[in-house]
Structure 1
Amino acid sequence: MQTMIGVIGGSGVYDIDGLEEARWTRVETPWGAPSDEILVGRLGGMPIAFLPRHGRGHVHSPTTVPYRANIDALKRLGVTDVVSVSACGSFREEMAPGDFVIVDQFIDRSFAREKSFFGTGCVAHVSLAHPTCPRLSAVCADAARATGVKVHMGGTYLCMEGPQFSTLAESLMYRSWGCDVIGMTNMPEAKLAREAELCYASVAMVTDYDSWHPHHGEVDITAIIATLGANASHARTLVAGLPQRLEAERAPCPHGCDRALDFAIMTAPDKRDPALLAKLDAVAGRVLKG
C-alpha cells in the first residue's frame, strides 16, 4: 500500500511551495458532503490531500463541521495517515503562545456531534486508550522541531463544544483536571479516524492561555489571529517536511491503528443492517467484505 498523507486544518496551511499536480476535487460520501472540496496533489513525490476543516472562508462552526464525511472522504481518496493541525489554548505556563503541542490524549466534552460511523444495525467498539498514533506523532514532532518552533511532545487536549470560549471557572476546572490544551475540533475527529483505521496525529498550535492566566486575562480574538498568522509558516514547513520522514511504501502500523476493527464489530452478521453496511463501505470495508 502506498502512503498518502491527509492534512486537516486551516487554509493557511495549504499554500506550500513544491505542491505538484494540485487540484481541488469533490468527494461524495454517504455521510453527506465534507467541509469543502479537497486539495490533492503530490509533495516530495508523495500523494497528499488537504481538507479545510471549517471550509474555505470558515463557514462551519466547530459543532457543524461534518466530521464523519471528512474522515470518510479522506479514506475514499486513499489516505493512510491523517495529520490534524489546529489552534488551541494552553493551560500550562510553559506551553506558550507560538509553541506546538503533539497531543497524545483527549478529554471529550463535546455533546452536539455525531461521534461514530457505527450504530443500530452494526455496533462496533474500538479502543481509544491511545487515541493518536505514536509513530505518526513522532514524525510530526521531528518535522515541527526542524522549523525551529518549540515543541512539546505529549499533552492532553480538552475538546469543548464551543463556539464560545471557556468561562474562568471552566478554565480553572480543566486546568485542575490535568489538561494541557483546549480546543473545539479534535473530537470526534480522532475517534472517527480510529474507526476508519487511519493513523491520526494531532499538532496543536498554542495561540493563548485560555482564561485562567492571571496576567493574560480573557481570550483576545485579535491576539489569537495574530499568533495564528505567525504559526502558519511553521505549520506549512512542518507539512512540507512530512514526506521525507515517511516511507513511500506503507508498512502495517506497529501500533495497530490500521487494524482497529479486527475485533470491534459486535453485531452478528445475520443481524446487520444492509443500509448501514452500504454506508460503511469505505471506513470498514476491510472487515465487512469477509
Structure 2
Amino acid sequence: MLPAPTLTAATPLSPAHPRLTRPPGQPLLEAHLAARLWRGSSLGTTATPTLSSGFAALDAELPGSGWPLRAVTELLTPQFGVLEWRLLAPALQRWWNTQALPATTGRRRHTAAPALRSLLLINPPHAPHLPGLQALGLPPSALIWVDATAPAEALWAAEQAIKSRVAVLAWLPEARPEQIRRLQISALSSDAPAFLVRPERAGQQSSAAPLRLVVQPGDGWALDVHLLKRRGPAHEGWLTLPAVPGAVEPLLTAARRKPQPAPAPAPSPASAPASPPLERADALARAVLHA
C-alpha cells in the first residue's frame, strides 16, 4: 500500500483546490486548517460570502465584515416597519445593484442574461410605500409583496423563497425556535440575504440563526444596535449608526440632524397655577357675547 502523499509548498494543487496564501515558513496544511478554524475569542472569518451593511462601524463587528449570505439574520426591534428599513436599505440597494444586467456595446450578439432575483417582502406590517422604497434605492421591479393571512403561510413563503435563492425580508412575530432552525438549514444553500424581523422579546428564546441583532431608535436619526449573537466574542455595549435616509438628508438643516434637547421638566403640581375646572383650550372656549 502506497503511503499517502504529503502536501508541501511545491505540491501543485488542482483547480478544485485553489492555492492558499500563507505566511512565509508556515506549512501549507497548517495554513489550510487556520483558514477553516474558528476560535471563540475572535470573530469568525469563514469563506462564505458576505454583503457589506453600508455602515463601517457595524461591518467591523460582523463576522466576515458584512451580512452573511448563507444564513438567516434576525433583527429584533420594538416596533415593526421603520427601523429595519433604515438599517438594511444600504445593503439591499448594493445587493440589487449586483443583479443589474451587463451592458452590451457595439455589434456584439446579445446573449441570454440570467434572470434578476427579486426581493420578497413577506408579511410586512404595512403596505409597502413604493416611492419611499425607490428613494432608498430599491426600484419597484425588485420588490414582490407576499401578504400572508396566517403565520404558517408566511413561514412557507419564506422557506420557498430562501430555497429559490432570492433575497428575503420576512416579518415573523410568532415563529418558534424549530421553525427558525428549518429556515436556517434552507439558507445554507442560498447566496442571497435572508432577514427575519422579530419582536424584541424574542431575544429571550434560543435561535439557530448565527447572527441576531437588537435595533432600537437612537438620538435624532441614529440607530442603536446591539449584537445579541454572533460567531465570536460577546458584543459589549451598543453601536450608534447614523441612518438618515438619502432622500431626507438634503431636507434637514444642521439643527435637525442633531439630537433634540430633552424637554424641560413639567412644574410640580404645587407651583403650577390652578386652572378653572371648566376651562377649554380649543377655539370653542370663547365667552358667549350676549346682545
- Same fold flag (TM > 0.5): no
Q: Which has the larger radius of gyration?
A: 2
With a CA cutoff of 8 Å and minimum separation of 6, indicate the structure with the bigger relative contact order.
1
